Amino acid sequence: MRTTILAILLAAAVAASACSREPLKVTNIQVGRSLNSDHSVGAHTAQFKPTDTIYVAVLTGASGTGKISARWTYAGRPVSEETKDVSYQGEAATEFHIQNSGGFPAGDYKVEVLLDGQSVGIRDFRVVS
């Protein structure tokens, strides 16, 4: 009987800690042309050459799980979209990137970041010849 009560109390404690976990939160969105080993952006910029690979790092500041998406647009038209299922214990960075072997057309671009389908931020950047 005592073992059963201990097992029930342990299960309740585990369930309570799981329920009180903070949801995944985006703390920053970085754009640049290189990444650090932790997947954060190493060389921040909002201006790129047509042949650059363009990176976005989505920084999260709490443990949790979710779907993080990056939606890239040029002149209001979709260029690319990618979604990653993530599960983190503490702070983390999720990386997305786009590249164009033929070179990006010059102009204004946007990357919108979504967490579980809800927009959490937009970053503007420009490609110049």
Q: Which CATH number fits domain 23-127: 3.30.559.10, 2.60.40.2550, 2.60.120.590, 3.90.1150.10?
A: 2.60.40.2550
Q: How far is CA 112 from CA 31, 70, 98, in A?
A: 11, 6, 13
> In this predicted model, what pLDDT tens digit does every residue of 4-16 receive, in sequence order?
555 555 555 444 4
State if pTM tops 0.95.
no
Residue 17 has a pLDDT of 45
Pair 37, 73: CB distance under 8 Å:
no
> In this predicted model, what pLDDT tens digit does every residue of 30-71 receive, in sequence order?
999 999 999 999 999 999 999 999 999 999 998 999 999 999
Pairwise CA distance, residues 76 & 45, whole Å: 21
Q: Give the residue extent of every domain in the chain.
A: 23-127
